[in-house]
Chain A
Amino acid sequence: MALVLTLVLAACGGDDPATPGTGGSEEALSGNIEIDGSSTVGPLTEAINEEYSVPQPDVVVNLGTSGTGGGFERFCKGETDVSNASRPIKDEEAALCETAGIEFTEVRVGTDALTMVVNPETDYVTCLTTEQLITLWGPDGATTWDQVNPDFPADPIEIFAPGVDSGTYDFFNETLEIEEPRQDFQASEDDNVIVQGIQGTPGAWGYFGFAFFQENADTLTAVEYDAGEGCVAPSIETAQDGSYGFTRPLFIYLKNESLSRPEVADYATFYVQTVQDVIESVGYIPEPEEDLAAAQTAVEEAVAAAK
Chain B
Amino acid sequence: MAVATSERPNRQVDGGFRAPVGNTVRERFTQLVLFLATCVALVVLVTLLVDIVRDGVGGLSLNFLTQYTSRVAENAGIRAGLTGTLSLMVLVALMTFPLGVGAALYLEEFAPRNRWTRLLEANINNLAGVPSIVYGLLGLSVFVFFLGFGRSLITGALTLTLLVLPVVIVASREALRAVPREIRDGGLALGATPLQVALRQTLPAAIPSILTGMILSLSRAVGETAPILVAGAVGSRRADNEPWNLSEAYTAIPIQIFDFVKRPQEEFQIQVASAAIIVLMTLLLFMNSAAIIIRNRYARNR
Chain A interface residues toward B at CB < 8 A: 32, 34, 39, 42-43, 46-47, 49-50, 53, 60-65, 79, 190-192, 209, 211-212, 214-216, 278, 281-283
Contact = CB atoms under 8 A, between A and B. Distances in A.
Interface string B259-282: 001111110010000000000000
B71 A282 contact: yes
Contacts of B261: 190, 192
B234 A50 contact: no
Question: Which one of B151, B238, B265 has the highest number of Cβ atoms from chain A below 10 Å of its Cβ?
Answer: B238
Contacts of A34: 249
B contacts with A: majority SS: loop
B223 interface: no
Contacts, number: 63
Interface of B: 68-72, 150-151, 232, 234-239, 248-249, 261-266, 269
B266 A215 contact: yes
A64 B234 contact: yes
A45 to B, nearest CB: 8
Contacts of A62: 234, 236-237, 249
B234 A281 contact: no
A211 B232 CA distance: 26
A115 to B, nearest CB: 11
Nearest to A63: B236
Question: Which one of B71, B238, B248, B264 has the highest number of Cβ atoms from chain A below 10 Å of its Cβ?
Answer: B264
A60 B266 contact: no
A46 B234 contact: no
A279 to B, nearest CB: 11
A64 B228 CA distance: 13
B218 to A, nearest CB: 25
Question: Which one of A32, A62, A79 has the highest number of Cβ atoms from chain B below 10 Å of its Cβ?
Answer: A62
A207 to B, nearest CB: 14
A32 B249 contact: yes
B294 to A, nearest CB: 37
A192 B238 contact: no
